[in-house]
Amino acid sequence: MDRKHKVSNQQIKGLVVSMMVGIGILSLPSVIANIMANDGWIGILLGGILNIPFIIIINKIFQLYPDKDFFEIGRDVLSPVIFNIFLVGFLMYVILLASYVTRNLVEVMRIFLLDTTPSEIIAITFILATSYIARSEIDIIGRAGYHIYPIIIGFAIFIIIVSIPNADFTNLLPVFQSNIRLVPKGIRVSFFSYIGFEILLLTIPYAEKKEKTLKYSLMALAIVTLIYILIFVMALSQYGIHQLQRQNWPTLALIKEIDLPGYFIENLDGVVMAFWVLVIFGTMGPAYYSAGKILSELFNTKTHELFIIPLLPIIYIVSLIPQNLVQINDQMVSIVNYFAFFSIMIMSTLIYIVGYIKKRRENE
Amino acid sequence: MKKKTLLLIMVTSIIFLTGCWDMVEINQRIFPYSIGVDINEGGDEGKYLVTISYPNVNAIGKNPSQEEQVYIISTTATSIFEGSRHLATRVQYPFYFKHLRVLVLGEELAKDEVLVRQVMDGLNRDFAINKKVQVAVAEGKAKDLIETKTERQEVIEGTIFSLLINDKASARFTSQTLTDFIKSTDANGVALVPKAISKKDEIKISGGALFKKYKFIGYIGELENRAISMVKEKVNRELVETEHNGVTLSYSITDLKSNKKLITTEEGMKIRISIETEGALQEYILEDRPTINNDEILNSMERAVEKQLKKELEKTIEVLQQKYNADALGIAEYLSKFHPRVWREVEKDWDTIFPDIDFEVSVDVKMRRRGLVR
């Protein structure tokens, strides 16, 4: 394994946060409000808690085999054939994720910022811009995540602060009134809004202090959970439950509700969109990079740079497949989610269990 | 040499890569600030009569090159946006609705639930429109209201808008934005929108128009609007006048708290509305000697104001219950938030239950200050 690239734990935290927060933050409040009404925050919280075991498992894998990277562990533990099948699933997942992110960016851009610019132009320029960072090695990706992290925190804090003056917190009431049978459905939605921590699989082997990565990755999850809950609470107290359920992108539409005295702080959608593009960049970059890395592993090449440009048309074409927003939000999301579950949750759990058993046999 | 060529290519490419894909100069856009929607009687060209007013940029500033400050233009259309497309063929530049400030609904149009719902949906859906658009109902036609040329015209934001946001000094009307309108209807099924009246060269905002499920059902007066604002805690400053010892007493409210409480009795629901106000004596009568120098007189003044307010509140509640059957006080919202179980039982027949609810009003007036003199 190549050891010259190093990632610090702070960078891992930033990277995980910037990868998790992306598209989900825009639509999650209304999606969850449509299922669990006023109690959506419970779903968000439970979804976050349910992700903890998987983060622990990913960290444990690398404690079992401290000197190897993810691909070496996978090939050793599962046989190369099985592992390659999982890798193909993983590859499909990251490509789908990248396309989903691109397509969402295009839709949101056309709504809020560039209403007459062709979708194709926005998509291609965005993928091209991210391809630059995707060509870099993991230390650069880590640093990028580390720098996007404060922007995400700033983005969230900004939205929360500007919407406080108009917020009516009684809109949060009544609590604990939703049907208990809807909770699993709510959790299913919120659970997948946290995907993105799979970048840990590629990052932890290069961490400077491995014993502390678990702490930092859980911290990242806690931060994201907190951001999601706060944004949900603000959106709900701003809109009331019915108007929130109507919104497509409540988080961005919140900006349209701002009306602070002194008109200079009005119609801020352009500014916020600019920040949000950076947030999306933080999701897209690592996903694109992972796709390149996996391909380079499958074809056994020295660097992954080769595959970045060939991936561009694939991501572009996949991103243009859905015909409308409903298809993106229903079908594309659930396909991405299935692949995510298969490649992240099942694969890492399997590697951990098999690896654990193998390790114990060796010791005996 | 190689580096220099590269640098030259990079520098020149900046000129061509400025990112102005859909550039529109700011002076080549029209920024409408109010839009009026009426029902189109007679014509077959559409259900709506859309009136748009926009400032003439050339007439603003130190040395205006043109006289006419506000342009008004109207057309018949099948929807607001179709109307703006129609109009776009008659003006030089495209409309840009991001700075739209006021939506005026004509009285006749407001009576048609479907049309109002369509207008609201169009505005709520459109991405350019700021959701803080003020909504008003014109007594008569919206077109006449917008076409009214007032003497003191506000060119930058439009006269109607300036009047509408000026509700801080009085509770005689309550300004309502598009989001407020929708939120209020979601929560209570009722929304209260300011009523605008146009006279020869004057526009007046007074009282409100009640909408029930997006259908206009009737006007309420200024005092009724004040009573509703009090219950909803939307009063910033207000002056109450009452008789006291044969003299008119003016009391200015500076602070107001309102509370609703549900009391379930055997006969049915009872809502207790308690209002506490703090304020100062504004005007009484100049006596030869100091008169307002003991607790008794202050107390009796407070009682007089309380009586007056209580009378107003009870009258308003009766009007809302019996005449309009419209829950403008936010009782439904209160129940659904604080008593969800009760609300679930009554939700379906709220329309039949609301007129029979027993209200108990209590007002507590505090006169903290008495001005500069005794």
CATH code: domain of residue A23: 1.20.1740.10
Helix (H, G, I), strand (E, B) or coil at B95: strand
Q: Is A116 on the interface with B (CB under 8 A)?
A: yes
Residue with structure tokens 């050891």? A3
Please give the residue range of the domain that contains residue A289.
Answer: 9-363
DSSP character string of B297-314: HHHHHHHHHHHHHHHHHH
pLDDT in tens, B51-84: 888 887 776 666 666 667 788 888 888 888 888 8
**Is pLDDT at A1 greater than 60 in this prediction?**
no
| A53 located within any domain | yes
Q: Where are the beta strands (DSSP E) in B189-236?
A: 190-199, 202-212, 215-220
A2 domain residue, yes or no: no
Give residue A178's pLDDT: 76
User: Alpha-carbon distance B245 to B292, whole Å?
Assistant: 13
Mark yes or no for CB contact B98/A267 under 8 Å: yes
Predicted pLDDT at A264: 56
- Asked if B56 reaches chain A (Cβ–Cβ under 8 Å), the answer is no
Is A1 among the domain residues? no
Assess whether pLDDT exceeds 80 at residue B167. no
Are B130 and A267 an interchain contact pair (Cβ–Cβ within 8 Å)?
Answer: yes
Per-residue confidence (pLDDT) for residue A267, from 0 to 100? 66
Q: Which amino acid would we find at residue A344?
A: I
What is the rounded average pLDDT of the residues A152-158? 88
The average pLDDT across B210-225 equals: 89
B340 touches chain A (CB under 8 A): yes
Please indicate if any CB of chain A lies within 8 Å of the CB of B179: yes
Please state the rounded mean pLDDT for residues A327-350. 88
d(CA B10, CA A245): 48
pLDDT of B103-152, one tens digit each?
999 888 888 888 889 888 988 888 888 888 889 998 888 888 888 877 76
- Mean pLDDT estimate for chain A: 87
DSSP H or E run through B102: strand B102-106
Rg (CA), chain B: 26
The pLDDT value given to residue A224: 93
Q: Using CB atoms, pick whichever of A114, A171, A253 lies closest to residue B22.
A: A114
d(CA A111, nearest CA chain B) in Å: 6
**Average pLDDT value for residue range B231-257:** 85
Helix (H, G, I), strand (E, B) or coil at B154: coil
Mean pLDDT of A273-298: 90
Q: Which of B22, B186, B337 sits opposite A242 (nearest CB)?
A: B186
Compute the distance between CA of residue A343 and CA of residue B155 in angstroms, rounded to an integer. Answer: 61
Which of A259, A260, A268 to mutate: most B Cβ within 10 Å? Answer: A259
Query: Quick one: which of A203, A218, A59, A57 has its CA closest to A137?
Result: A203
**Radius of gyration from C-alpha coordinates of chain A:** 20
* Mean pLDDT to the nearest integer, A123-134: 91
Q: How much of chain B exceeds pLDDT 70, in percent?
A: 93
> Is residue B187 pLDDT above 60, yes or no?
yes
pLDDT digits (tens, 9 = 90+) for B294-313: 888 888 888 988 999 999 99
Asked if pLDDT for residue A145 goes beyond 80, the answer is yes
CB A105 within 8 A of CB A129: no
pLDDT at B36 over 80: yes
Q: What is the pLDDT of residue B66?
A: 66
B236 touches chain A (CB under 8 A): no
| B316 has a pLDDT exceeding 80 | yes
Q: What is the reported pLDDT for A291?
A: 92
**The domain over range B225-369 is classified in CATH as 3.30.300.210:** yes
Residue A233: per-residue pLDDT? 92
Query: In the structure, what pLDDT confidence band is assigned to residue A16 with cuts at 50, 70 and 90?
Result: very high
pLDDT at residue A315 above 90?
yes
Q: B340 to chain A: nearest residue by CA?
A: A174
**Could you tell me which chain B residue has the CA closest to the CA of A266?**
B130
Set of chain B residues whose Cβ sits within 8 Å of the Cβ of A259: 132, 177
pLDDT number for residue A222: 94
Contact B360, B260 (CB under 8 A): no
Residues in chain A closer than 8 A to B336 (CB atoms): 174
Strands (E), B213-316: 215-220, 238-244, 247-264, 269-283
Q: What is the pLDDT of residue B288?
A: 83
- pLDDT band, residue A290 (cuts 50/70/90): very high
User: Is residue B367 within a helix (H) or strand (E), and if so which, with residue range?
Assistant: strand B358-369
Task: Note whether A240 and A171 are within 8 A (CB).
Answer: yes
Q: Any CB–CB contact under 8 A between A281 and chain B?
A: no
Question: What pLDDT, on a 0 to 100 scale, did the predictor assign at position A93?
Answer: 92
Polymer length in residues for chain A: 364
Render pLDDT for A26-75 as a digit per residue (tens, 0 to 9): 889 999 999 888 888 999 999 999 999 999 999 988 888 888 888 888 88
The pLDDT score that the predictor gives to residue A223 is 93
Would the CB atoms of B127 and A111 count as touching at under 8 Å?
A: yes
- Which residues, 6 or more positions from A161, have their beta carbon under 8 angstroms from its beta carbon? none
Handedness of CA A114, B180, A36, B353 (dihedral sign): negative
pLDDT at site A259: 65
Is the minimum CB–CB distance between B315 and chain A shorter than 8 Å? no
A260 confidence band (pLDDT: 50, 70, 90): low
Classify residue B325 as left (phi > 0), alpha (psi -120 to 50) or beta: left
pLDDT digits (tens, 9 = 90+) for A172-230: 888 887 788 888 888 888 888 888 888 888 888 888 888 888 999 999 999 999 999 99
Least CB-CB distance to A117: which of B21, B98, B127? B21
What mean pLDDT, rounded, does chain B reach?
A: 84
- To the nearest whole Å, the CA of A46 is away from the closest chain B CA by 24
Q: Minimal Cα distance from A260: which residue of B? A: B132
Mean pLDDT (whole number) for B15-25: 70
- Alpha-carbon distance B200 to nearest alpha carbon in chain A (angstroms): 31
In a domain, A3, yes or no: no
Q: What Cα–Cα distance (Å) separates residue B113 from each residue in A271, B108, B197?
A: 37, 11, 22
**Residue written as token pair 């919104």:** A247
Average pLDDT over residues B85-97: 82
Whether A320 has its CB under 8 Å from any CB of chain B: the answer is no
d(CA A124, CA A314): 11
- Whether the CB-CB separation of B163 and B153 falls below 8 Å is answered with no
Residues of B with Cβ-Cβ distance to A177 under 8 angstroms: 340
Task: Report whether pLDDT(B283) > 60.
Answer: yes
Whole-structure pTM value: 0.88
Q: What's the domain count of chain A?
A: 1
Q: Residues of A with CB below 8 A from B179's CB?
A: 239, 243, 257
Q: Is the pLDDT of residue A313 over 90?
A: yes
Instruction: State yes or no: pLDDT of A2 exceeds 60.
Output: no
Is A32 within 8 Å of A190 (Cβ atoms)?
Answer: yes
Q: Establish if A114 touches chain B: CB-CB under 8 angstroms.
A: yes
